[in-house]
Structure 1
Amino acid sequence: MQNKKVLVAFDGSENSFNAVEYVGGIVRNCSGCEVMLLYVERLPDKDLYPDEESWKEDCAKNEERMKLSLEKARSRLVQRGIPKEYVSTEYFASCRSPFHETDECSLGRSIGIDVLRIREEGDYGTVVIGRRGVSKAEEFLFGSVSTKIVQSAANCTVWVVS
């Protein structure tokens, strides 16, 4: 590997755990390779909740669940033989989040674009993403994070794991 920094776009799905396992199998043989597990937060629409308090409660539960998933994924990489000091996680919060006030946040436009921006800022040579398996119709209507990353990535390697 030329650049020894790998960014794994993680969403807690089965396919993102498959991507973690795949990375663990390859990177464990790469001396000095760093792996970042990245979750880009997307908040649910407030209009789906009866009140703001219900929305905040659900946002907090989702964040807690995702942070646990990130830690589980991190543990899997360490179990696969990657030194723990070379594996990190990041929960990239939405700018609309009721719990995070930070200058570095997701604007909520596109998870794929946020992942690629973080890849560039962190100088990651490889981006890994699990393919969610959306249908062609869903992909046409709503897009796909993996498709967006594959189409928009430049100056890096992209691995799509299914």
Structure 2
Amino acid sequence: MKKALVAIDQSQNSQSLISYAFRFAEKNSIERLDFIHVVTRIDLTIPGYVDYPPHYNEDSIRQSFLNMIEKGMRESGASATPFEFVLATGTPYEEILRMAEKNKYELILIGHRGLSNLERFFIGSVAAKVVRHAPCNILVHLPKETEEPAKT
């Protein structure tokens, strides 16, 4: 069985990645997609970083991601590939790698958040760490720019 792991967060890039993953699965005969989001509970004040309070509502977060996945499946225009969603807690790249190794995926799809050089220096890129240590092939998704630059 060909299966792929898709690492997502709540960014617009992840919404694009979800749609891409369903199209990719259809074109490449992937039989199942597993989506993972990792909740971190560290206090960082980096712009754009999504952190959850110590007593986050797991059901609410899970439903939010299921809604994102279902929206991405509809927007993809691809036939419905079976999927599962896993909500994990820990360090994102470690949990993604742990799941990839445990379930022996053929591929990991992950988005690129576009951190600045300074942010990447201090906290690193989850995608870069996954690429560096992955037990399987990796596809790093860079969404296409859909907006034209403003005319001056």
On whether the aligned pair clears a TM of 0.5, the verdict is yes
**Structure 2: 5+ residue runs without aligned partners?**
44-52, 143-152
Q: Which residue of 1 aligns with 2:94?
A: 113
1:79-94 to 2 correspondences below 5 Å: 79=74, 80-83=77-80, 86-92=82-88, 94=89
Q: Which residue of 2 aligns with 1:18?
A: 16
> What letter is aligned with 1:70?
F
Out of 131, 138, 151, the residue aligned to residue 158 of structure 1 is 138
Counterparts of 1:82 and 1:69 in 2: how far apart (Å)? Answer: 22
CA deviations 1:47-73 (Å, max 9, x no partner) are xxxxxxxx555x22xx34532332123
Indicate whether 1:69 and 2:64 are aligned: yes
User: TM-score, normalised on structure 1?
Assistant: 0.71
User: TM-score, normalised on structure 2?
Assistant: 0.75
Q: Number of residues paired by the alignment?
A: 131
Q: Which residue of 2 aligns with 1:125?
A: 106
| Higher helix fraction (1 or 2) | 1
Counterparts of 2:60 and 2:12 in 1: how far apart (Å)? Answer: 14
1:33-52 to 2 correspondences below 5 Å: 33-45=31-43
1:89-104 to 2 correspondences below 5 Å: 89-92=85-88, 94=89
SS at match of 2:140: strand
SS at match of 1:28: helix
Q: Which residue of 1 aligns with 2:150?
A: none
Counterparts of 1:129 and 1:116 in 2: how far apart (Å)? Answer: 12
Identity of aligned residues (%): 27
Counterparts of 1:120 and 1:114 in 2: how far apart (Å)? Answer: 10
Q: CA 1:127 to 1:5, structure 2 compared with 1: closer, same or farther past 3 Å?
A: same
SS at match of 2:27: coil
